[in-house]
């Protein structure tokens, strides 16, 4: 499954030409050039075999036909609800000059409530049912969310490696780590409640991968004896600028009142040398 970027004739032809063909579903342009299948070759016919038949109306032109038959179909939508959409589907050959012809099944999707824009899908398996094609395409959202999560939180596609073999090793490991985090969090939430991070502008109805990895880190930190959230020994008190000034300058300078940052810098710079004449912004101070 993919967006319109995968609707490439060379890629579609490659998927169909494999020994075990791969079914590819992607968005289809409404102005794509569709043709009927090539007519059978007559016995004794000369010339090059035809690769396509007569030109068919574009999907954009079919939308204006009142006689087009639409089938209401319940579909499991992205948010888990069930939506009723109207579908119509046929088979055709998608062809462009200089490219291999690709037989496809196209599916037009229309929202009877006019809340969603009309769009079209293509499938390289011409025997697939239109409802199944749409349901398979909806499953694409879970794949995109997975890729986004592993990139944002596990570093996929951000590793600094120059070798293709190194990338081929680390990327599957990071994808496997995503599955391990999900399974570990699912096992831990049976004994410990999973805290959902909320924001004032967004209330999450269910935990996300961020909540799962945060809970797993918390349990790993608690179980580790060598990890501590704070230093066991009390830290030394940090001295302020004035305290450092009082302890670093000679006794003859400690009685000098400091009234500006320029005087602090001047006094610290002169503290290591014998007391003489110290210049300040307010004039000369004789010590």
Instruction: Please give the pLDDT value at position 106.
Output: 94
**Residue entry with tokens 């088979």:** 91
Per-residue pLDDT band for 228 (boundaries 50, 70, 90) equals low
Q: What is the pTM of this model?
A: 0.61
- Token pair recorded at residue 264: 């602090």
DSSP code of residue 263? H
Q: What is the mean pLDDT of residues 141-168?
A: 84
Q: Which of 140, 120, 144 is nearest to 31 (CA)?
A: 120
d(CA 119, CA 155): 34
Which of 241 and 189 is assigned the larger pLDDT?
189
> Which of the residue ranges 44-53, 68-77, 168-177 would you say has the lowest mean pLDDT?
44-53
Q: What is the mean pLDDT of residues 18-36?
A: 91
Task: Report whether 91 contacts 126 (CB < 8 A).
Answer: yes
Which of 190 and 244 is assigned the larger pLDDT?
190
Instruction: Please give the pLDDT value at position 108.
Output: 93
């Amino acid at each position: 499954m993919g967006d319109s970027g995968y609707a490439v004739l060379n890629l579609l032809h490659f998927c169909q030409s494999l020994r075990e063909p791969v079914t590819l579903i992607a968005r289809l342009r409404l102005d794509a050039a569709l043709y009927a299948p090539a007519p059978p070759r007559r016995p004794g016919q000369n010339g090059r075999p035809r690769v396509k038949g007569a030109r068919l109306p574009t999907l954009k032109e079919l939308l204006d036909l009142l006689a087009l038959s639409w089938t209401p179909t319940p579909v499991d939508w992205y948010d888990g609800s069930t939506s009723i959409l109207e579908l119509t589907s046929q088979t055709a050959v998608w062809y462009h000059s200089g490219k291999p012809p690709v037989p496809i099944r196209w599916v037009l999707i229309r929202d009877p409530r006019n809340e969603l824009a009309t769009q079209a899908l293509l499938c390289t398996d011409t025997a697939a049912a239109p409802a199944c094609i749409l349901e398979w395409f909806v499953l694409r959202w879970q794949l995109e969310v997975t890729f986004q999560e592993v990139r944002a939180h596990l570093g996929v596609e951000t590793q600094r490696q120059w070798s293709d073999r190194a990338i081929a090793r680390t990327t599957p490991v990071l994808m496997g780590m995503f599955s391990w985090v999900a399974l570990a969090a699912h096992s831990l939430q049976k004994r410990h409640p999973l805290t959902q991070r909320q924001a004032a502008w967004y209330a999450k109805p269910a935990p996300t991968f961020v909540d799962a990895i945060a809970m797993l880190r918390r349990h790993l930190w608690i179980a580790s004896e060598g990890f501590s959230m704070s230093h066991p020994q009390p830290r030394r008190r940090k001295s302020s600028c004035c305290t450092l000034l009082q302890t670093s300058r000679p006794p003859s300078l400690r009685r000098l009142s400091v009234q500006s940052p320029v005087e602090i810098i001047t006094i610290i710079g002169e503290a290591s040398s014998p007391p003489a004449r110290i210049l300040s912004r307010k004039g000369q101070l004789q010590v």
